[in-house]
């Protein structure tokens, strides 16, 4: 183990640095405004290293979307202690609380890499649109599992489907990010998350069913 | 009247064409990806005419945000017949139905110029951020008037404020646009509008109060 730590492994490290630099820069200034030169400077790697790993800015952006999905799976669906709450509705509400609590500090720190990218690239790059869709879909399908379990336990109003509600959670988060950017204030985004939480509680309406 | 129609008024016309071309191009491909040359080509005016009216792309983008606000005031808050519905809650629900019905065809046809612009420019241009904020704020404050009237008539759960709910309507719309772009399908956006409508109906909960 120590041996592997002391050996230099520049290639995987440079690749990951490029992915993280792309995510950081796109979240801060969008996709079109971000150049390969800036990404290399941000990652502290050469342009030669860039093109060793990626054929183009678009290819890096696709890899960064996939890494973004993995990051969400870890940071939002696996690591936090509340992900182990047994009751699926309480877990869903804790999910929304967690997303609201993340909305703090500069917007580029809590907003969505793929949501920012697809906003401007949906019509110009089918490749980036699909990569963004895959990431948003993976998040929504994972969240829908919890919602499905909550519906099985408590029922839900109007026959709302788990996946439809999961996508709505995504929509509210993505839209809340835009308000936070426009107002340069994350408080407005947390307010939308509070509306979303109220909606979910009313949809499940446990008080009347228990 | 006829006389003024037959006189040529190239300057105002070129200005408006530039504003509309900027709105169209930014909605389709974002702000950074849109060049002054493309805007001129889209408007069918010369670069000389562009710089006669606007000092920079940013200056045009600000004028286009202001024009966007005026357009929303007309197309969403003044012209549609449902804006004259007397009951403020029915008018609010008709507003959401109208926004949902607009979500059809290619995303660049129903999505938001300022929401798209601020997504990528919030950190790089304080000027564009403020122009976008003003437009989103104008929409939300106008909508809050209807919500305020609905609260006065029917009351609302949990002391939700009219302006907070108006901004949430904006958040859901903006986020729904992102999902429609990611999925290349406006149906997913209409689903979020349906969730929003259900939330508003539950918030006012007329059945229990009347």
CA distance A161 to A157: 10
Q: Does the beta carbon of A107 lie under 8 angstroms from any beta carbon of chain B? A: yes
Phi, psi of B178 (to 5 degrees): -65, -40
Q: Which residue has the tokens 């993976």?
A: A138
Rounded Cα distance between A164 and A173, Å, is: 14
Taking alpha carbons only, the member of A70, A55, A80 closest to residue A23 is A70
A201 in reach of chain B (CB within 8 A): no
Would you call A77 exposed, middle or buried from its count of C-beta atoms within 10 A (0-12, 13-18, 19+)? middle
Mean pLDDT, residues B70-84: 96
Q: Is the pLDDT of residue B9 over 70?
A: no
Cβ-based neighbour number of residue B126 at 10 Å: 11
Low-confidence stretches of chain A (pLDDT < 50) are 1-5, 9-10, 209-210
**Cα separation of A91 and A134, whole Å?**
24
Burial letters A103-126, b for 16+ CB under 10 A, else e: beeebbebbbbbbbbbbbbbbebe
Chain segment B176-208, per-residue pLDDT in tens = 999 999 999 999 999 999 999 999 999 998 655
For residues A119 and B168, give the distance between their C-alpha atoms in angstroms, rounded to a whole number.
Answer: 19
> Rounded to whole angstroms, how far apart are CA atoms B189 and A167?
9
ipTM for the complex shown: 0.93
Cβ of A187 under 8 Å from any chain B Cβ? no
Element spanning A97, H or E: helix A88-102
In the block, which residue shows the tokens 């379990």? A149
Indicate yes or no: CB of B29 within 8 angstroms of CB of A32: yes
Contact B203, A163 (CB under 8 A): no
Is 80 exceeded by the pLDDT of residue B50?
A: yes
Q: Which two tokens stand for residue B146?
A: 């209807």
Residues 65..94 of B with a Cβ closer than 8 Å to A: which?
Answer: none
* Residue A91 to residue A97: CA distance in whole angstroms: 10
- Whether residue B16 lies within 8 A of chain A, CB to CB, comes out as no
Chain A: closest CA distance from residue B19 (Å):
19
Find, in chain A, the residue whose alpha carbon is nearest to that of B173: A175
What pLDDT shows up at residue B206?
62
Subunit contact B179:A191, Cβ cutoff 8 A: no
The answer to whether residue A108 neighbours chain B at the CB level (below 8 Å) is: yes
Asked if residues A147 and A162 have their Cβ atoms less than 8 Å apart, the reply is yes
Cα A84 off chain centre by: 20
User: C-alpha B190: how far from its chain's center?
Assistant: 16
Q: If you search the block for the tokens 């993995």, which residue do you land on?
A: A70
pLDDT at B140 over 70: yes
Cβ atoms of B179 and A136 within 8 Å: the answer is yes
Rounded-to-integer distance, Cα A100 and Cα A93, Å: 11
Residue numbers of A between 116 and 135 with CB closer than 8 Å to B:
116, 118-124, 129, 132-133
User: Is the pLDDT confidence value at B7 over 90?
Assistant: no
The predicted pLDDT at position A205 comes to: 82
CB B112 within 8 A of CB B173: yes
Give, in order, the Cα–Cα distances in Å from A111 to each of A126, B49, B122: 22, 38, 12
- Average pLDDT (B141-168) is 97
Q: Which residue in B30, B126, B140, B177 has the most chain A C-beta atoms within 10 A of its own C-beta, making it the best mutation to test that interface?
A: B30
Residue B102 is encoded by which pair of tokens? Answer: 């607009």
Contact status of B190 with chain A (Cβ, < 8 Å): no
Beta strands, E only, chain B: none
Residue B11 has pLDDT above 70, yes or no: no
The distance of B165 to chain A (nearest Cα, Å) reads 8
């Amino acid at each position: 183990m120590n041996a592997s730590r002391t050996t230099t492994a520049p290639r995987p490290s440079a690749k990951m640095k490029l992915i993280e630099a792309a995510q950081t820069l796109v979240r801060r200034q969008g996709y079109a405004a971000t150049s390969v030169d800036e990404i290399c400077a941000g990652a502290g790697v050469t342009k030669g290293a860039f093109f060793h790993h990626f054929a183009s800015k678009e290819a890096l952006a696709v890899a960064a979307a996939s890494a973004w999905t993995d990051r969400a799976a870890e940071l939002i669906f696996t690591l936090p202690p509340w992900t182990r709450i047994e009751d699926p509705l309480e877990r869903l509400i804790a999910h929304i609380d967690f997303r609201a609590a993340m909305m703090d500090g500069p917007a580029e720190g809590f907003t969505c890499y793929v949501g920012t990218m697809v906003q401007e690239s949906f019509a110009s790059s089918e490749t980036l649109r699909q990569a963004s869709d895959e990431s948003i879909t993976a998040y929504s399908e994972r969240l829908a599992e919890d919602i499905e379990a909550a519906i099985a336990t408590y029922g839900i109003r109007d026959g709302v489907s788990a996946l439809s509600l999961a996508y709505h959670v995504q929509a509210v988060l993505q839209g809340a990010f835009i308000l936070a950017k426009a107002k340069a204030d994350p408080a407005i985004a947390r307010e939308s998350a509070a509306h979303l939480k109220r909606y979910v509680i009313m949809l499940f309406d446990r008080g009347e069913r228990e």
